[in-house]
Amino acid sequence: MAKPLKKLVSCVVLDLDGTLLNTDGVLSEVLKGILGKYGKEWDGREAQKTIGKTSLEAAAAIVEEYGLPCGNDEFLAELYPVFSAQLCNIKPLPGANRLLKHLSCHGVPMALASNSLRGSIESKISYQQGWKDYFSVIVGGDEVTAGKPSPEIFLEAAKRLNREPSSCLVIEDSIPGLTAGKAAGMEVVVVPSVPKQTDLYTPAADEVINSLLDLQPEKWGLPPFQDWIEGTLPTEPWYIGGPVIKGFGRGSKVLGIPTANLSTKGHSSLLSEHPLGVYFGWAGLSTRGVYKMVMSTGWNPYFNNTEKTIEPWLLHEFNEDFYGEELRLVIVGYIRPEVNFSSLESLIEKIHEDRRIAERALDLPLYSKYRDDPYLNSPLHSESNHS
Residues lying near ligand RBF in the complex (CB under 6 A) are found at 247-248, 250-251, 255, 257, 259, 278, 294-296, 300-303, 311, 313, 338-339, 347, 351, 354
Sheet with 137-139: list strands edge to edge: 137-139, 110-113, 11-14, 168-172, 187-190, 207-208
Stretch that binds ligand ADP, among 12-20, 42-50, 162-170, 257-265 (CB under 6 A): 257-265
Query: CB-wise, 89 or 252, nearer to ligand ADP?
Result: 252
Work out the angle at residue 93's Cα, subtended by the Cα atoms of residues 115 and 313, and round it to the nearest 5 degrees.
Answer: 145
Residues across the chain: 387
The values of phi and psi at residue 372, to 5°, are: -95, 10
- Which residue among 17, 152, 173, 187 is the active-site one? 17
- Indicate whether 225 belongs to the interface with ligand ADP (CB under 6 A): no
Residue among 214, 311, 354, 373 flagged as catalytic? 311
Q: Which of the following is catalytic: 15, 187, 206, 373?
A: 15
Instruction: Clarify whether 17 is annotated catalytic.
Output: yes
Rounded Cα–Cα distance for residues 220 and 214 (Å): 13
Nearest residue (CB) to Mg ion, 22 versus 300: 300
Find the shortest distance in angstroms from Cβ 271 to ligand RBF.
15
- Residue closer to ligand ADP, measured from CB, 128 or 296: 296
Backbone phi, psi, residue 85, to 5°: -70, -15
Please work out, in degrees rounded to the nearest 5, the angle formed at the alpha carbon of residue 304 by the alpha carbons of 346 and 46.
145
The least CB distance from residue 311 to Mg ion, in Å, is 5
Complex with Mg ion: residue 250 or 371, whichever CB lies closer: 250
Which of Mg ion, ligand ADP, ligand RBF, none lies near 294, with the C-beta cut-off 5 to 8 A by kind?
ligand RBF
Is residue 358 close enough to count as binding ligand ADP by CB under 6 A? no
Residue of minimal CB distance from ligand RBF? Answer: 302
We find the least distance from the C-beta atom of residue 325 to ligand ADP, in angstroms, to be 8
End-to-end CA gap in the chain = 34
Interface with ligand ADP, residue 244, by CB under 6 A: yes
Which of 321, 353, 363, 372 touches ligand ADP by CB under 6 A?
Answer: 321
Cβ proximity to Mg ion: between 204 and 255 the closer is: 255
- 210: contact with ligand ADP by CB under 6 A: no
Whether 311 is a known active-site residue: answer: yes
Whole-number Cα distances in Å, 177 to 54, 115, 185, 296, 325 = 11, 9, 13, 30, 47
User: Which of 224, 181, 227 has the alpha carbon at shortest distance from 204?
Assistant: 181
User: Under the criterion CB under 6 A, does residue 280 sit at the interface with ligand ADP?
Assistant: no
* Closest to 301 in 3D by CA, of 309, 290, 293: 309
Distance of closest approach, residue 315 Cβ to ligand ADP, in angstroms = 7
Active site residue 15: yes
Binding residues for ligand ADP, total number by CB under 6 A: 20
Q: Which neighbouring-strand residues pair with 207?
A: 189
- Is the CB of 217 or the CB of 241 nearer to ligand ADP? 241
**Strands 289-298, 277-285: parallel, antiparallel or unpaired by DSSP?**
antiparallel
Neighbours of 50 (CB within 10 A): 23
> What's the CA gap between 349 and 121, in Å, rounded?
45
Q: Active-site positions? A: 15, 17, 311
